[in-house]
């Protein structure tokens, strides 16, 4: 059923692309997937603390606001799969950042694990949007001599609200705690190091839950990578 839905979604997108010329996903500039100006938002790395990882940090390609926010939403929720290319390139570039690159030089193999989406979200979108990016990361790692494979090792169960519908950090944490688990039939080798990826990091609750589940299974998480990180809210000075 999900396959039929995905095929229908792809056909609709193909007809749309023939009938209507596309514009930049970030600003609407004609005949661009992402224009040069909007691409700059993808090459402004943001680091955030993730003490449970080997590197102690997570990294995002840029901050989730303005053109990058619009581009990520167009890609994630409105089927703009042409953004797979520039988004993959931007996340691959994060592999060069320290301390992750030095850490990768010390391992022989790594699993790239996308943060899970609910089955309902996958059916609605017609695909798992992180899979092409995960594949690009694994391909680059293999080119460096690191044996890398994409492993959809995690699944999410019984979450009834979307992340964007949860305003507070505490609410986001409670939304995912206990609802992410290892998928049946997908077993990572004991001790296999992991890189976790996601699209948007707000409070970091999903990332931390993924890391906790993987570490509990004996798979150390080297670092977590994302397309965009939501800037912290300014303190209320009223």
**Domains defined for the chain, CATH in brackets:** 39-229 (3.40.50)
- Alpha-helix runs per DSSP H in 95-168: 100-104, 119-125, 131-143
Q: Which of 137-146, 155-164, 176-185, 218-227 has the lowest mean pLDDT?
A: 155-164
Find all residues with CB under 8 Å of 231, minimum gap 6, and list them.
Answer: 63, 64, 65
153-197 pLDDT, tens per residue?
Answer: 999 875 554 554 445 555 445 555 567 998 887 789 989 999 999
Please tell me the pTM assigned to this model.
0.82
164-174 pLDDT, tens per residue?
Answer: 444 555 544 55
Q: Is the pLDDT of residue 38 over 60?
A: yes
Q: In what order do the strands lie in the sheet with 147-150?
A: 46-49, 57-63, 221-229, 194-201, 109-114, 147-150
Question: Stretch 35-43: mean pLDDT, rounded?
Answer: 95
Q: Are 86 and 122 in contact (CB under 8 A)?
A: no
């Amino acid at each position: 059923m999900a396959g039929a839905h995905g095929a229908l979604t792809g056909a609709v997108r193909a007809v749309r692309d023939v009938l209507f010329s596309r514009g930049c996903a970030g600003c609407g500039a004609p005949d661009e997937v992402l224009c040069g100006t909007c691409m700059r938002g993808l090459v402004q790395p943001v680091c955030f603390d993730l003490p449970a990882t080997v590197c102690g940090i997570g990294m995002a390609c840029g901050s989730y606001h303005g053109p990058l926010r619009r581009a990520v939403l167009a890609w994630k929720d409105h089927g703009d799969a042409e953004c797979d290319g520039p988004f993959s390139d931007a996340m691959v570039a994060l592999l060069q950042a320290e301390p992750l690159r030095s850490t990768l030089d010390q391992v022989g193999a790594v699993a790239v694990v996308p943060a899970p989406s609910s089955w309902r979200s996958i059916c609605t979108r017609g695909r798992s949007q992180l899979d092409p990016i995960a594949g690009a990361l694994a391909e680059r790692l293999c080119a460096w001599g690191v044996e890398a494979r994409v492993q959809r090792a995690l699944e999410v169960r019984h979450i009834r609200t979307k992340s964007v519908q949860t305003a507070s950090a505490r609410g986001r944490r409670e939304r995912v705690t206990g609802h992410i688990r290892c998928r049946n039939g997908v077993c990572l080798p004991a001790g296999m190091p992991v890189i976790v990826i996601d699209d948007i990091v707000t409070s970091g609750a999903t990332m931390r839950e993924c890391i906790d589940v993987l570490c509990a299974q004996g798979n150390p998480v080297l670092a977590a990578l994302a397309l965009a990180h939501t800037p912290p809210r300014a303190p209320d000075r009223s």
